[in-house]
């Protein structure tokens, strides 16, 4: 394990310890065994699950994080490898519709022929967004660390770039979905992605909202009080940055990016599913709570033109 001595968002040196519990406590051990299906073969005595909050930008983060060798072990060996089948088994029409709405919004925003839009799916996972953008005719490529996912993306025709050597000033749009909560240096990464955008380009950052989980943990002062859904946004080892709307917005400002307030007309024009009562309600409400009175951790940031 490594100690993060400065804020991973803004590099500020001043932080407050919010919470600390030994990593081998009964509650955390129970969670790790269940979450990784008994594949955890390490002794964590002497290390803590430790949450700190930066006094400068307000980001809450895990102060003790896995060293590179342990990270590799977690992502390659502990996590189940059958996720691609799981995505296909779990996703319904509304999930794909929502992806389509995001791609349509991107195209509405730039008002360019889809083939003229250069897009990057950064940390693409099983390349769901990249495939959707490709289906709409965009010039899309991806970057990802996992070899098995890279092979899959190439097999479905998505070009894959080296994440550490991205071109400068290249993209109209960069998609990141459930990426920034995992990064050891999210502030540096958002600055790098910002430089890869053209002037006026947009990067989407979507991460779990940790506000509720943080409140619950800091109220109960015990990991044992958390349910599965509470643990997810602040999961030990994996979700090492616990964003709220405010700290994510601060991350964007620190990277020299501006919060984009998308036009409601363009958001509504990019969504379908209106005739189904359940999805229509979501379709109606989401643009308002997410982008008009934003408190959420799904943010479009724009590089100043």
Question: Which listed residue (32, 54, 190, 231) binds Zn ion by CB under 5 A?
Answer: 54
Closest CB to Zn ion among residues 42, 56: 56
Task: Give φ, ψ of 170 to 5 degrees.
Answer: -100, -40
Cβ-based nearer residue to Zn ion, 7 or 71: 7
Q: Is 10 in the site for Zn ion (CB under 5 A)?
A: yes
Query: Considering the complex, what minimum distance in angstroms separates the CB of residue 11 from Zn ion?
Result: 7
* CB 96, min distance to Zn ion, A: 36
Binding window for Zn ion (CB under 5 A); candidates: 37-45, 58-66, 173-181, 265-273: 58-66
- By the rule CB under 5 A, 18 interacts with Zn ion: no
Distances (CA, A) of 175 to 77, 123, 142, 185, 264: 27, 9, 9, 18, 20
Contact indicator for 4, 61 with CB cutoff of 8 Å: yes
Measure CA 141 to chain center: 18
Helix ranges restricted to H, the chain: 26-35, 68-73, 83-90, 93-110, 128-135, 147-155, 186-196, 211-220, 228-231, 245-254, 264-269, 277-287
Considering the rule CB under 5 A, would residue 7 count as an interface residue with Zn ion? yes
- Residue 16 pairs in a beta bridge with 53
For the CB of residue 241, give the shortest distance to Zn ion in the complex, in Å: 10
Q: Which of 1, 6, 12, 280 binds Zn ion (CB under 5 A)?
A: 12
**248 is an interface residue for Zn ion by CB under 5 A:** no
Among 51, 52, 57, 160, binds Zn ion (CB under 5 A): 57
Chain contacts with Zn ion (rule: CB under 5 A): 7, 9-10, 12, 54, 56-57, 59
């Amino acid at each position: 394990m490594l100690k993060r001595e400065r804020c991973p968002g803004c590099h500020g040196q001043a932080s407050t310890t919010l919470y600390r519990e030994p990593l081998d406590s009964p509650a955390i051990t129970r969670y790790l065994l269940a979450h990784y299906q008994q594949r955890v073969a390490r002794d964590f005595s002497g290390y803590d699950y430790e949450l700190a909050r930066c006094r400068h930008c307000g980001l809450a983060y895990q102060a003790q994080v896995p060293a590179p060798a342990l990270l590799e072990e977690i992502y390659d060996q502990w996590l189940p490898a059958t996720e691609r089948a799981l995505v296909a088994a779990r996703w319904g029409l509304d999930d794909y519709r929502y992806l389509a709405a995001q791609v349509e919004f991107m195209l509405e925003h730039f008002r360019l022929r889809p083939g003229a839009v250069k897009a990057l799916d950064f940390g693409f996972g099983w390349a769901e967004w990249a495939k959707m953008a490709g289906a709409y005719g965009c010039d899309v490529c991806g970057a990802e660390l996992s070899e098995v996912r890279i092979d899959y993306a190439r097999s479905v025709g998505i070009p894959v770039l080296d994440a550490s050597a991205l071109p400068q000033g290249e993209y109209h749009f960069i998609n990141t979905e459930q990426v920034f909560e995992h990064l050891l240096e999210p502030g540096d990464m958002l600055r790098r992605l910002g430089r890869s955008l053209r002037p006026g380009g947009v990067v989407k950052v979507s991460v779990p909202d940790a506000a509720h989980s943080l409140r619950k943990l800091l109220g109960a002062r015990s990991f044992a009080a958390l349910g599965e859904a509470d643990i997810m946004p602040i999961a030990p080892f994996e979700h090492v940055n616990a964003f709220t709307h405010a700290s994510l917005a601060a991350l964007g400002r620190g990277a020299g990016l501006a919060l984009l307030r998308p036009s409601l007309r363009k958001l509504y024009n990019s969504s379908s599913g209106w005739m189904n009562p359940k999805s229509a309600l979501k379709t109606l409400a989401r643009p308002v709570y997410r982008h008009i009175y934003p408190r959420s951790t799904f943010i479009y940031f724009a590089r100043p033109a």
